[in-house]
């Protein structure tokens, strides 16, 4: 991948030049050496990441900053700040969130590990005095951090694997059985990767690749190659998670990346390493595609120059062709998601989510909700999702209920509502509302049909919410207007076209028997930045909405 190497080298230089303007160089400033992020936050992890990029260039003979005295000074100052911010315990703070944080300390020294191994194993006794200084500084930070990480504590599922994999790696470096035993206490919980290849947080935009990295590290540190199976399984699944515009599908994430625009740059090293070790041509093709996405979107290439130095054979591996991203219809039952690609568009259905349907044609994204107010319910969130011929069926039963007065044997001593154990009250149950949704692809492969049926309760004003991003114009038989985002329109009949300069979605037939779009208190807000089209009716209703992509028709 020599071409990739050259692109990554140049982009690393650009990244470092950008970082230089962020570094505090005033010798009278107590935080000299720190890198200020875009919010001017002083954080050890951010400084370690920026310093690491600098080290890659300093040690790389192909770089225009190779053995630069100015760069060496900045690296020294970055490490000076990193050492200053490391507590005596060995732990770091993640100052916007977590303090004395074992997982964030693990993330920090994980960034240093490839550099540590490169200088220890690849350069070895040929290290210059300056390179040896870097190596010894990293060694000091890593060993101290490992002892702190053993004190433990985590918040999220992926934190366990960051801690366990880092401790296993350090146990191997320092031959420390206590570190190994501590790591095994985390691993005893079992890896939370299901048969689909999905980790618990369903975070395709960030934490899937964090978990993959931890699994790869565990395999290397323990010698148990089965840990890599989790990463390989997830990377295969992720082949079905790219959208037509090159972004990652993130709508089912349970973490901060949900619905964020994210590109797959950080998966590069995992696809490359697992492609090499497991001889998977599609993984090499994904590496080509990731670099192609970076170039087409004017993104900096992955910050992984050190991997080409740590694994020098990567420069000699060549594999032609981009990942073809063929059409697929996959149903991940354990994850409650169906992903589909047909030509120019993808569509996705999910259980347990109010935005249960996504349609993406590369320039326009549509999200659909079925929303309203029924007792405490504010939107349809499917309890079940099952495959049917040509699509999926989603279902939810919403249970109505009312509290009853306390029975004689349960009357509490207090008359303070907030101190009463109201969950222990008897209830009057019913009525129930059933909502069923069937999503099937058109026979012409130019879009989908969405049938929505409500039953069990009559006369409740509900709505179909269609939120569009990327559309700049809306038109039907009665109106034509430009869109800038945040519009809210109820369309009462006929089809409606949402378009931009590249493509058009045709949606309908519309219906609008009421204009109760906002819902009751606690109803979900409209998608910020999206133009929302409403179809409205009273329950029970049975409507089929067609979604057609015009450029798929020729």
Q: What percent of the chain has pLDDT over 70?
A: 100
pLDDT attached to residue 167: 98
Q: Is 124 left (phi over 0), alpha (psi -120 to 50) or beta?
A: left
Give 299-335 pLDDT, tens digit per residue: 999 999 999 999 999 999 999 999 999 999 999 999 9
Mean pLDDT of the chain: 96
Distance from C-alpha of 230 to C-alpha of 302, rounded to nearest angstrom: 22
Q: What is the pLDDT of residue 548?
A: 97
Q: Hey, what long-range contacts does 315-322 have (CB within 8 A, 24 or more apart)?
A: 315/1, 315/2, 315/5, 316/2, 317/1, 317/276, 317/284, 318/1, 318/2, 319/1, 319/275, 319/281, 319/284, 319/285, 319/287, 319/288, 320/288, 321/285, 321/288, 322/285, 322/288, 322/289, 322/292
Average pLDDT over residues 392-408: 96
The answer to whether the beta carbons of residues 230 and 218 sit under 8 Å apart is no
What pLDDT, on a 0 to 100 scale, did the predictor assign at position 518? 83
At 520, the pLDDT band (50, 70, 90 cuts) reads confident
The percent of the chain in helix, strand and coil, each rounded to the nearest 5, is: 40, 25, 40
Angle between helices 268-278 and 281-296 (to 10 degrees): 160
Residue with tokens 């999206």: 530
Q: What is the pLDDT of residue 92?
A: 96
Write the CB contacts of 445 (distance below 8 Å, at least 6 apart in sequence): 342, 343, 552
Q: What is the pLDDT of residue 13?
A: 98
- Give the angle subtended at the CA of 381 by the CAs of 378 and 384, to the nearest 5°: 150
DSSP state letters, 331-363: EEGGGTEEEEEETTEEEEEESS-SS-EEEE-SS
d(CA 494, CA 510): 5
**456 beta partners:** none
> pLDDT digit string (tens) for 377-398?
999 999 999 999 999 999 999 9
Q: 337, 327, 191: which is closest to 250 by C-alpha?
A: 337
Task: Find the distance separating the first CA and the last CA of the chain, reported in whole Å.
Answer: 37
Question: In what helix (H) or strand (E) does residue 482 lie, and over which residues does it extend?
Answer: strand 480-482
HSE toward the beta carbon, residue 283, CA cutoff 13 A: 22
Rounded CA separation 183/150 (Å): 8
Predicted confidence (pLDDT) at residue 114 exceeds the cutoff of 90: yes
CA-to-CA distance for 29 and 40, rounded, in angstroms? 15
In whole angstroms, give the CA distance from residue 329 to residue 347: 10
Per residue in 154-212, pLDDT (tens digit) is 999 999 999 999 999 999 999 999 999 999 999 999 999 999 999 999 999 999 999 99
User: How many C-beta neighbours within 10 Å does residue 421 have?
Assistant: 9
Ordered structural domains, the chain, with CATH: 328-552 (2.70.98)
What number of other Cβ atoms are within 10 A of residue 482's Cβ? 8
CA dihedral 517, 521, 527, 533 (to 10 degrees): -10
pLDDT at 519 over 90: no
Residues 6+ apart with CB under 8 A from 514: 461, 536, 537, 538
CA nearest neighbour of 239 among 267, 217, 216: 267
C-alpha pair distances (Å), 300 with each of 283, 514, 553? 20, 49, 35
Distances (CA, A) of 549 to 310, 361, 429, 450: 46, 7, 44, 14
- Give the pLDDT score at 310: 97
pLDDT for residue 525 is more than 90: no
DSSP code per residue over 140-157: HHHHHHHHHHTT---SSH
> Measuring CA to CA, which residue among 106, 103, 115 is closest to residue 78?
115
Peptide bond into 213 cis (omega under 30): no
Is 48 within 8 Å of 107 (Cβ atoms)?
no
Summarize pLDDT for 67-107 with one digit per residue, the tens. 999 999 999 999 999 999 999 999 999 999 999 999 999 99
Residue 527's pLDDT band, with cuts at 50, 70 and 90, is confident
523 pLDDT higher than 90: no
CB 517, CB 440: distance < 8 Å: no
Distances, alpha carbon 450 to alpha carbons 390, 432, 447, 545, in Å: 12, 23, 10, 5
What pLDDT shows up at residue 522? 81
Report how far residue 494's alpha carbon sits from residue 508's, in angstroms, rounded to the nearest whole number: 6
Q: What average pLDDT does this structure show over 256-279?
A: 96
Section 9-37 average pLDDT: 97
User: What pLDDT score was predicted for residue 528?
Assistant: 86
Confidence of residue 526 (pLDDT cuts 50, 70, 90): confident
- The bridge status of strand 98-101 relative to strand 384-388 is unpaired
pLDDT-based confidence at residue 39 (cuts at 50, 70, 90): very high
């Amino acid at each position: 991948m020599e071409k990739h190497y050259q692109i990554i080298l140049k982009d690393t230089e650009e990244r470092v030049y950008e970082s230089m303007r962020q570094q505090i160089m005033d010798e009278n400033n107590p935080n000299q050496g720190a890198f200020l992020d875009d919010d001017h936050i002083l954080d050890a992890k951010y400084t370690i990441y920026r310093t690491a990029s600098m080290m890659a260039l300093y040690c790389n003979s192909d770089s225009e900053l190779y053995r630069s005295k100015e760069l060496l000074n900045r690296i020294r100052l970055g490490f000076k700040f990193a050492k200053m911010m490391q507590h005596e315990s060995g732990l770091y703070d993640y100052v916007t969130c977590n303090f004395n944080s074992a997982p964030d300390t693990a993330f920090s020294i994980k960034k240093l590990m490839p550099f540590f191994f490169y200088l220890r194993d690849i350069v070895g006794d040929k290290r210059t005095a300056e390179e040896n200084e870097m190596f010894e500084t990293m060694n000091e930070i890593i060993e101290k951090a490992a002892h702190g990480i053993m004190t433990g504590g985590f918040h999220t599922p992926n934190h366990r694997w960051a801690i366990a994999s880092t401790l296993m790696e350090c146990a191997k470096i320092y031959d420390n059985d206590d570190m190994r035993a501590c790591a095994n206490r985390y691993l005893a919980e079992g890896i939370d990767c299901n048969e689909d290849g999905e980790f618990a947080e369903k975070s395709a935009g960030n934490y899937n690749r964090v978990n993959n990295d931890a699994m790869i590290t565990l395999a290397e540190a323990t010698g148990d190659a089965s840990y890599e199976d989790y990463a390989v399984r997830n990377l295969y699944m992720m082949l079905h998670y790219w959208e037509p515009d090159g972004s990652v599908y993130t709508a089912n994430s349970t973490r901060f990346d949900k619905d964020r625009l994210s590109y797959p740059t950080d998966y590069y090293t995992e696809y490359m390493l697992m492609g090499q070790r497991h001889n998977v041509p599609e993984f090499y093709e994904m590496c080509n595609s990731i670099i192609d996405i970076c170039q087409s979107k004017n993104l900096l290439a992955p910050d992984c120059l050190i991997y080409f130095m740590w694994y020098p054979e990567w420069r000699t591996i060549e594999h032609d062709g981009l990942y073809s991203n063929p059409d697929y219809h996959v149903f991940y039952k354990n994850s409650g998601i169906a992903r589909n690609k047909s030509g120019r568009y993808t569509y996705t259905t999910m259980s347990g989510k109010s935005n249960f349907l996504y349609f993406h044609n590369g320039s326009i994204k549509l999200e659909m909700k079925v929303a309203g107010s029924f007792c405490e319910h504010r939107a349809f969130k499917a309890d079940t999702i099952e495959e049917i011929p040509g699509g999926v069926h989603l279902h939810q039963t919403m249970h109505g209920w009312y509290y009853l007065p306390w029975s004689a044997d349960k009357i509490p001593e207090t008359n303070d509502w907030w101190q009463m154990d109201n969950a222990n009250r008897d209830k009057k149950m019913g009525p129930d509302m059933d909502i069923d949704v069937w999503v099937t692809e058109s026979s012409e492969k130019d879009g989908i049909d969405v049938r929505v049926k409500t039953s069990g309760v009559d006369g409740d004003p509900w709505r179909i919410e269609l939120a569009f991003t990327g559309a700049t114009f809306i038109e039907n038989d009665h109106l034509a207007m430009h869109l800038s985002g945040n519009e809210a329109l109820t369309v009462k009949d006929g089809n409606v076209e949402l378009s931009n300069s590249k493509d058009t979605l045709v949606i309908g037939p519309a219906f609008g028997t009421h204009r109760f779009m906002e819902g009751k208190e606690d109803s979900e807000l409209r998608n910020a930045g999206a133009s929302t089209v409403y179809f409205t009716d009273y329950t029970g209703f049975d409507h089929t909405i067609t979604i057609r992509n015009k450029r798929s028709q020729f």
